[in-house]
Amino acid sequence: MRLRFADQARVASVGVRARKVRAFLSALGIAIGVAAIVAVLGLSSSSQAGLLAEIDRLGTNLLTASSGQSFSGDAAELPREAPARVGNLDAVESVAHTGDVTGAHVYRTPLIPAVSTNAIQVRAASLNLPSVVAAGMAQGRWLNEATATQPVAVLGATAAKRLGFERVTPGQRVWLGDQWFYVAGILEKAALASELDSSVLVGYPAAERHLNYVAIARGAAVAGPPSTLYVRAATEQVAGVQAVLAQTANPESPNEVDISQPSDALTARAAAEGAFDSLFLGLGVVALIVGAVGVANIMIISVLERRSEIGLRRALGATQRQVRTQFLAEAVLLTVLGGTAGVAAGMIATVVYAQNQGWRVVVPVEAWAGGIAAAVVIGAIAGLVPAVRAARLSPTEALRTV
Given the rule CB under 8 A, which residues bind another protein? 1-4, 6-7, 11, 14, 17-18, 308-309, 311-322, 394-396, 399, 402
* Residue with smaller CB distance to another protein, 367 or 393: 393
3-state secondary structure of 129: helix
Which of 235, 233, 255 lies closest to 246 in space, CA to CA?
A: 255
Kindly state the smallest distance separating residue 1's Cβ from another protein, in Å. 4
Closest distance to another protein from the beta carbon of 302 (Å) = 14
Distance CA 107, CA 26 (A): 62
Contact indicator for 372, 336 with CB cutoff of 8 Å? yes
Q: Is 136 exposed, middle or buried (0-12, 13-18, 19+ CB in 10 A)?
A: exposed
Question: Smallest distance, Å, CB 298 to another protein?
Answer: 17
Nearest approach, Cβ of residue 299 and another protein (Å):
18
Q: How far is the CB of 28 from another protein (least distance, A)?
A: 22
**176 or 318, CB closer to another protein?**
318
Q: Which is nearer to another protein, 366 or 397 (CB)?
A: 397
Q: Which residue, 15 or 383, has its beta carbon nearer to another protein?
A: 15
Least CB distance to another protein at residue 355 (A): 42
Shorter beta-carbon distance to another protein: residue 24 or 280: 24
**Greatest CA span in the chain, whole angstroms?**
113
Between 246 and 318, name the residue whose CB sits nearer to another protein: 318
CB 78 within 8 A of CB 251: no
- DSSP 3-state of 106: strand
Q: How many helices (H) and strands (E) does the chain have?
A: 14, 13
DSSP-assigned states of every residue in 183-242: EEEEEPP-TT-GGGTTEEEEEHHHHHHHH--EEEETTEEEE---SEEEEEEPGGGHHHHH
| Residues pairing with 63 in the sheet | 231
Cβ proximity to another protein, 16 vs 200, nearer residue: 16
Query: Minimal distance in Å, beta carbon 30 to another protein?
Result: 24
> How many residues in total does the chain contain?
402
Amino acid at 132: V
